[in-house]
Chain A
Amino acid sequence: MTEKVLTKNISNVNDTTPIDRYEANEGYLGLRKALNSMSPDDCLLEVKNSNLRGRGGAGFPTGMKWSFVPKHGDCLPGHKYLICNADEMEPGTFKDRLLMEQDPHQLIEGMVLSAYTIGANIAYIFIRGEYRLAIQRLSEAIEECYNSGYLGGNILGSSFSLEMYVHPSAGRYICGEETALINALEGKRANPRAKPPFPQVSGLWGRPTIVNNVETLCNIPHIIHKGAEWFKTLGVGEDSGTKLFGVSGRVKNPGCWELPMGTPIRQILEDHADGMQTGLNLKGLLPGGGSTDFLTEVHLDLAMDYNVIGAAGSRMGTGTMIILDDQSCPVGMVLNLIRFFAQESCGFCTPCRDGLPWTRQVLEDLENGKGSEADLETLAYQIKYIGTPGNTHCALAPGAMEPLQSAMKYFFEDFKNHITLGRCPYEMNGVY
């Protein structure tokens, strides 16, 4: 039986965890421990030693990210900021919603601890505007915290103070990119910024800023309360801790489960999602959201660890898998994804703004049976030039190319069949 950490207060019923129930289940003990007996440097060391890696998709070590924030005295006086990235918009991703709706205090405690560690006195939760229930429950939980001394001036009698705000987004996928998010918080268009300078040094209003994903921050109270060594024992592979893994698509029991890091894909798919729906077979899967490369049946025994999935040519991303069955069209699926990325391009750089609509057009022609052999060469050309990091201002367009390049690698016959048949071979299957 897996030890439940992030979801220990979460049941099947869609209710929230009020402050008394959160406190009764070891809630705010990590914060009390830190404020009573640990310096910010002690907390940083604990998080570094835990090997916690960012759960938003990139997998960057959290402790290392925090260590880039200049210490008090090493930068001009003024605010430092902590931002929680709750702009969950990666297609196929549905894990942060669960954490915010059903256990908002866990996120708040994680944010207070993280702010204490990096020396921030202002914190924002940048959340999707569509997440109405999460916005409401977080706002209520923040008010409970102000009333109980977990937020505001001199938290729990210490010298540490923190103000926290919920900021609902006006909606755009690119806001999930941390520097674009910072621009959105400053009231601007959410175009990503050039890096360097990195936000840790010059972020919101030009001040040191840390942006972390919801799930990453939710791990912090447990790491501080129970220690880095305990956290490391939770994973069954090379990475530490547990992870929310999800499965969507035409499986018998789609859902989201907290499992050890390193759980094999097959186990998630068969034991938790109960396998494919009757009459369908697995054709491929995107392991961590719409901007990750396809994997296939031969990869099912791989561990869901950042490096293992990376070595197989994909990325663990958000850890929420999207399953392609054998009755759905791979070209149609990739077209759906490219449409999304073309629409959500911020328009700042040419390869993304003009390249992605071009790719979409080529795929539309193929899907509608109007494609030619030359289109396959065009797609290969686009993958090469749009997909190479450094040709674009940020990672959106290279991310968009990941499902396309891997679909062309694994499902090339399907692309060819659209041309030879002059129609989509799957069009009779009733999905569309």
Chain B
Amino acid sequence: MIHNIIQSDTSSTLTSEEIHLINIELSHVPQKSGAAIDALKIVQDKRGWVSDECLIAIAKYLEMSSEELEGIATFYNLIFRRPVGEKVILFCDSVSCWLCGCEKQKHKISEILKIDYGETTKNKQFTFLPVPCLGACDKAPVMMVGDELFTNLDSSKIEQIFTDYEQEAG
């Protein structure tokens, strides 16, 4: 759903750096819409998520309808159409991690951060999301926090991880 459709000037919504990076992707593809996913990722990389305003601006720049681009954006797990915290927790809930007790660890994280799947902490530091198999099944249970992979999770390790982040954040 696109809310509050705003007719905005593309150049003022997308930064010149974003446009520059999108143009690099455009040089590889025979038609502009071919860079749709890359453009969404570029904008998300800079802003953390893709707002309606940005989505409309990207669609306009790539000469496609915003409805079509919205269909693409919402299809993919790693394109965020709502604001997320500074770090996204991608918690593996697939079969090998399940066999190794990931549901217990999921509850531990919920208890520490006081959030469930799909939610963001009050201080906007973390968003908690489930993710399909992270391909580290020999070290199950596993999760990613931001770019970092954490393996062989147990309660004490999870406590340590979030204590460390808390200290880092000061």
**Residues of chain A at the chain B interface (Cβ within 8 Å):** 88-94, 96-97, 128-133, 165, 168-173, 184, 186-190, 205, 246-250, 254-256, 286, 290, 320, 322-325, 328, 332-333, 336-337, 340, 343-344, 346, 430-432
Contact = CB atoms under 8 A, between A and B. Distances in A.
Contacts of A325: 99
A332 B41 CA distance: 36
A96 B72 CA distance: 27
Given A133-B149, A170-B78, 6 more contacts: A130-B144, A132-B147, A168-B41, A172-B77, A249-B96, A249-B100
Nearest to A323: B99
Contact of B36 (A188, A190, A250): A188
Given A94-B138, A333-B99, A187 B132 contact: no
B89 interface: no
B132 A337 contact: no
B75 interface: yes
Nearest to A343: B132
Contact of A320 (B30, B101, B137): B137
B12 to A, nearest CB: 24
B153 interface: no
Contact of B95 (A129, A187, A336): A336
Interface string B120-135: 0000000000011111
A324 B99 contact: yes
Interface residues of B, number: 42
Interface string B57-81: 0000000000000011001111100
Given A187-B33, A189-B72, A248-B138, A92 B103 contact: no
Q: Is the interface of B mostly helix, strand, loop or mixed?
A: mixed
Contacts of A190: 75-76
B81 to A, nearest CB: 12
Contacts of B93: 336
Contact of B98 (A93, A186, A205, A336): A336
B158 to A, nearest CB: 17
Contact of B94 (A255, A340, A430): A340
5 contacts: A90-B133, A186-B29, A286-B95, A340-B133, A430-B101
B34 A129 contact: no
A92 B72 contact: no
Contacts of A324: 99
B137 A93 contact: yes
Interface of B: 28-30, 33-38, 40-41, 71-72, 75-79, 90, 93-96, 98-101, 103-104, 131-140, 144, 147, 149
Contact of B137 (A132, A184, A322): A322
B41 A328 contact: no
Given A170-B37, A187-B38, A333 B95 contact: yes
Contacts of B101: 430-432
Contacts of A89: 132-133, 135
A310 to B, nearest CB: 22
A246 B29 contact: no
Nearest to A175: B76
A170 B79 contact: yes
Among A133, A173, A340, find the residue whose CB has the most chain B CB atoms closer than 10 A. Answer: A340
A246 B99 contact: no
B37 A187 contact: yes
Contact of A91 (B29, B33, B94, B144): B94
